[in-house]
């Protein structure tokens, strides 16, 4: 494969990095620095972080970042937890704030790409090489991250064979129908976990995130975030956003070479043998990554 074939498109483009934050005083500066350094050579980088419900020093850290970086902006929304008690509900509300800003604020009218990022140090393995791998091709509207360890973000994932359902909703249903069965999670979740080698082909999905996703800006004119099903159950807010894009004809992928993390706390299993299996997979993933980079 001809790597970085479209890299000049990336270098001549304007980027906006967005994310939501709550009680992230210990990770915000590191996340900001890592994202800024990993983007590499581009025309312009701007930042827009949305904060709510923090009871630590997050607001002061945001203020400090904005003073030191003229292209850094943030919005503090105060306490939302009483109005929006469910986590995905709050996240969707916060994310829709940056959607509106992208659509309406003249500061962002010339943006070409929007990078949606978690801000809790999940992206500690991100670097210029992994980020620029997104421009090996140009037939995508969104590409999201992969991990050296087990791919962890099954909540945001939708794929016609790999993860075609919301495993949390399905688990509740199965548990209600057959409460004595002990392997529901194994059957619908753990058995689906896998490591994606960095040399793999891109994986087309209905939805994915895993802590980092790069979108073409026009995606934000076509969709918005939703955090609840119609019956009030929580849904990962990325899923409705991405699925609406798919219905509009957008192409969404996991980019195996867009490595943002190693093994994460989200993917750590509870039993010894599951830990051992994942450590073996993690080691193999490192070997593949070194070999093909």
**Residue 207 bridge partners (DSSP):** 158
pLDDT at 265 over 70: no
pLDDT at 19 over 50: yes
Six token digits for residue 138: 């140009």
Query: Domains in the chain, start-ordered, CATH in brackets?
Result: 7-291 (3.90.550.10)
Mean pLDDT across 174-188: 94
Mean pLDDT across 42-65: 98
Cα dihedral 212, 264, 203, 38 sign: positive
Segment (H or E) for 144: strand 142-147
Q: What is the pLDDT of residue 2?
A: 57
pLDDT at 264 over 80: no
Q: What is the pLDDT of residue 1?
A: 44
Q: What is the pLDDT of residue 272?
A: 39
Mean pLDDT across 112-123: 96
């Amino acid at each position: 494969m001809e790597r970085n074939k479209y890299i000049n498109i990336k270098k001549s483009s304007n980027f906006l990095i967005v994310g939501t934050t709550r009680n992230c005083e210990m990770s915000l500066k590191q996340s900001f620095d890592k994202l800024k350094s990993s983007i590499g050579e581009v025309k312009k980088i701007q930042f827009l972080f949305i904060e709510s419900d923090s009871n630590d020093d997050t607001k002061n850290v945001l203020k400090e970042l904005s003073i030191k970086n003229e292209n850094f902006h943030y919005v503090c929304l105060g306490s939302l937890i009483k109005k929006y008690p469910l986590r995905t509900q709050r996240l969707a509300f916060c994310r829709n704030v940056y959607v509106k800003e992208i659509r309406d604020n003249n500061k962002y009218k010339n943006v070409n790409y929007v990078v949606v990022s978690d801000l809790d140090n999940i992206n500690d393995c991100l670097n210029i090489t992994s980020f620029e791998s997104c421009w090996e091709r140009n037939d995508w509207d969104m590409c999201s991250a992969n991990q050296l360890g087990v791919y962890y973000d099954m909540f945001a994932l939708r794929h016609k064979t790999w993860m075609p359902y919301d495993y949390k909703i399905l688990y509740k249903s199965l548990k209600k129908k057959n409460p004595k069965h002990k392997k529901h999670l194994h059957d619908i979740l753990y058995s689906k976990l896998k490591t994606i080698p960095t040399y793999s082909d891109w994986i087309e999905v209905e939805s994915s995130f895993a802590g980092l996703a790069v979108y073409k800006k026009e995606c934000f004119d076509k969709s918005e975030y939703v955090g609840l099903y119609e019956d009030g159950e929580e849904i990962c807010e990325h899923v409705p956003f991405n699925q609406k894009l798919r219905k509009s004809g957008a192409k969404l992928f996991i980019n195996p070479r867009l490595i943002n993390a190693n093994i994460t706390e989200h993917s750590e299993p509870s039993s010894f043998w599951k830990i051992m299996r994942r450590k073996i997979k993690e080691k193999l993933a490192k070997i593949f990554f070194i070999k093909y980079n």
